[in-house]
Amino acid sequence: MCENLQLIFAVFRMGVYSLFRRLCCGGPPPARPTFNVLCLGLGGSGKSSLLAKVSGESTDAIEPTVGFSIKALMFDSCFVDVKELGGGDNVRPYWNRYYGGSQGVIFVVDSSADSSTMDKCLAAFDEALSHPELDGLPLLVLANFQDKPRARREDEVVNLLNLGNLTRPWAIQGCMLQDKDSIVKGFDTYNKMLLAQGRNTGDFDKI
Ligand SMILES: Nc1nc2c(ncn2[C@@H]2O[C@H](COP(=O)(O)OP(=O)(O)OP(=O)(O)O)[C@@H](O)[C@H]2O)c(=O)[nH]1
Ligand SMILES: [Mg+2]
């Protein structure tokens, strides 16, 4: 019910934005494709919070995601429908049920996690990325919690996740919940990768 309300609100905002562009800019904006993207990461890595921040929503009372949650994000160049899968130990075994139809993957990492949590993160990352349904899809790693004093830098997370060995297109962005620009920067890079890949849902400016 809450997810439906969020979706309706996002579509309404897109409608208002589209109308505003038509009235003020003397013509329709260029058609934008839509991409279906998965958002993965261990429980508490900050997936829901980062997505809420990009959407301009409050991040004050976010609960652990049970099952999955979908957020429609709107950018100048495209729409990105992000399906976040809860990262708790009792939810991760079911992740692969939700992989079908994805055109990209975002993986959120708590860069400040202790080494045993990082091992768990690497195992979840390797298992997800090696699944046939996610084969070759563009990857964005958000190295979150950069506000924490012991947070690993981007290059350290690159090494920990062995990103250099990947054959798919990938990018990494250090970010923190308190700095929306850092999150948007990650999406700016990622949207260019999605557009270059050319695989989208086939929907263009649905509203
Ligand atoms: N200090 C700090 N706290 C953060 C940051 N990102 C998220 N948090 C906090 O981390 C907690 C967990 O965030 P969530 O967004 O629920 O994490 P999640 O990955 O969606 O977790 P699941 O839904 O259980 O998989 C929340 O209390 C957030 O406020 C960050 O960059 N810095
Ligand atoms: Mg969540």
What CATH number corresponds to the domain at position 52?
Answer: 3.40.50.300
Atom of ligand 1 minimally distant from the CA of 146: 31
Tens of pLDDT, residue by residue over 25-46, are 556 666 899 999 999 999 999 9
- For 132, the token pair is 């046939």
Tens of pLDDT, residue by residue over 140-192, are 999 999 999 999 999 999 999 999 999 999 999 999 999 999 999 999 999 99
Does residue 202 lie in a domain region? no
pLDDT of residue 26: 59
Tell me the pairing of strands 104-110 and 139-144. parallel
Average pLDDT over every residue of 190-200: 90
What is the Å distance from ligand 2's center to 103 Cα?
Answer: 20
Rounded-to-integer distance, Cα 70 and Cα 75, Å: 16
Does residue 67 lie in a domain region? yes
User: Does residue 39 sit in the same domain as residue 26?
Assistant: no
User: Does residue 65 sit in the same domain as residue 77?
Assistant: yes
pLDDT at 207 over 70: no
At 53, is the secondary structure helix, strand, or coil?
helix
Average pLDDT over every residue of 124-150: 98
pLDDT at 19 over 80: no
The closest of 143, 10, 129, 133 to 81, measured between CA atoms, is: 10
Atom of ligand 1 minimally distant from the CA of 175: 31
User: Does residue 6 sit in the same domain as residue 66?
Assistant: no
User: Does residue 16 sit in the same domain as residue 118?
Assistant: no
Nearest CA, atom 14, ligand 1: 46
Does residue 79 lie in a domain region? yes
User: Does residue 114 sit in the same domain as residue 27?
Assistant: no
Q: Ligand 1 test: best mutation among 69, 173, 177, most atoms within 8 Å of CB?
A: 177
The closest of 94, 103, 86, 100 to 42, measured between CA atoms, is: 86
User: Does residue 4 sit in the same domain as residue 68?
Assistant: no
Average pLDDT over every residue of 80-100: 97
User: Does residue 144 sit in the same domain as residue 97?
Assistant: yes
* DSSP per residue, 82-135: EEEEP-STTTGGGGGGG-TT-SEEEEEEETT--HHHHHHHHHHHHHHHTSGGGT
Q: In what order do the strands lie in the sheet with 104-110?
A: 68-74, 79-85, 34-40, 104-110, 139-144, 170-174
Does residue 203 lie in a domain region? no
What is the Å distance from ligand 1's center to 206 Cα?
Answer: 31
User: Does residue 21 sit in the same domain as residue 39?
Assistant: no
Contact, 39 vs 84, CB < 8 A?
A: yes
Ligand 1 binding pocket, CB closer than 6 Å: 41, 43-49, 59, 62, 64-65, 86-88, 108, 144-145, 147, 176-177
Quickly tell me which residue has 């958000």 as its tokens: 142
Range of the domain at 6: 1-31
Does residue 206 lie in a domain region? no
Element (H, E) at 171: strand 170-174
Q: Which ligand is nearest to the CA of 63?
A: 1
What is the Å distance from ligand 2's center to 20 Cα?
Answer: 32
User: Does residue 10 sit in the same domain as residue 73?
Assistant: no
pTM of the model as a whole:
0.87
Does residue 190 lie in a domain region? yes
Nearest CA, atom 1, ligand 1: 145
| Domain count for the chain | 2
User: Does residue 5 sit in the same domain as residue 79?
Assistant: no
